[in-house]
Structure 1
Amino acid sequence: MAGGLLGDEDQPLSEMNVVPLVDVILVLLVMFIIAAPIFAQALNVDLPRAEASPGVEPQVAHLVLYADGKLMLEERAVHRDALPGLLSERLREEPQLVVRLGADASVPYQSVAELVSVLQTSGVRRIAFATRSP
């Protein structure tokens, strides 16, 4: 108990007074909260410099598969059997050719997978799937 209530004034207190400790911790916490954003903005990093040639935009061939099975390559109707030859010819002209494949939402997955297989066997290594955001 606090000094002198029991009549024994010479006995030391047996409990630790934590109020000053809590006060110090709270002051440190407030100082840290105020200083943290300042330190975060003050970090300067000397990044290395590198020389690079400007990126060249790749050629993109647009291939669309319609619900009725019709294929359009660059706005021209193409038969599925003629597609590998046309793509191989385009790949000889432009080795970094990207084929942007768009398919109607009602086209079965199997048809799209078969078309991707045709693209891969004709040498196309870069395929982009055309999508629409919901």
Structure 2
Amino acid sequence: MPFGRLPSRQADAPMSEINVTPLVDVMLVLLVIFILTAPLMTSAIRLDLPSSEGGEAGGVPQAIALVVDAQGALFLNDQPITPEALRQQLASAARRNPLTELELRADASVPYGRVVEAMGLAQKAGLSRIGFVAQVVAP
């Protein structure tokens, strides 16, 4: 052994396989991060949209207001109406535009059966879009 030289040893053989465990770990962590943050990104954007003088994007859907007061009386667009006349008016509205929406306003003291009768009249007339109008209570 000459002076100042370290003993030589054979070099390690190159690895023929790639260790994928760290890669899989990183990918799983990224997947979890994306799963958790994706729903937050869609609702977190607040915009103040500019206004324009262009035309409307689509026609305003036609709506009919039906009111059932505390005594169970029916009012169509704020006019008193009988159930038979209501059936005819709703049928003619459905023939004009089948996508007409019925806005149903019922007093809190009206029995549920009376509200269901009004809904049944609308469905028999051919109106399938019924919206229930309620008052929002401030906290």
Aligning the two structures, in what range does the TM-score lie when normalised by the shorter sequence?
0.5 to 0.7
Question: Where does residue 86 of structure 2 map in the other structure?
Answer: 83
Cα deviation, residue 68, structure 1: 0.9
Q: Residue 61 of structure 2 corresponds to which residue in structure 1?
A: 58
SS in structure 2 at match of 1:82: helix
Instruction: Specify the code of the residue in structure 1 equivalent to 2:58.
Output: G
Name the amino acid aligned to 1:82: A
Asked whether the 8 Å contact 2:62–2:101 carries over to 1, the reply is yes
Farther-moved stretch of structure 1 (114-123 vs 88-97): 88-97
Q: How many residues align?
A: 85
What residue ranges of structure 2 are gaps of 5+ in the alignment? 1-32, 42-55
Report % sequence identity.
34
SS at structure 1 position matched to 2:58: coil
Q: Show the counterpart of 1:103.
A: 106
The one-letter amino acid paired with 2:95 is: R
Which residue of the partner structure matches residue 70 of structure 2?
67
AA aligned opposite 1:96: L
Q: Aligned equivalents of 2:127 and 2:61: distance in 1?
A: 13
Determine whether 1:113 maps to 2:116.
yes
Q: CA deviation at 1:96?
A: 1.5
Q: Distance in 2 between matches of 1:72 and 1:102?
A: 10
For structure 1, the 5+ residue unaligned runs are: 1-35, 44-52
Alpha-carbon distance, 1:72 to partner: 0.6
Q: Secondary structure at the match of 1:110?
A: helix
Q: TM-score, normalised by structure 1?
A: 0.58
Give the structure-2-normalised TM-score. Answer: 0.56
Report deviation, 1:117. 1.1
Offset of residue 55 of structure 1: 2.4
Structure 1 residue runs of 4+, over 4 Å off? none
Q: Distance in 2 between matches of 1:98 and 1:79?
A: 20
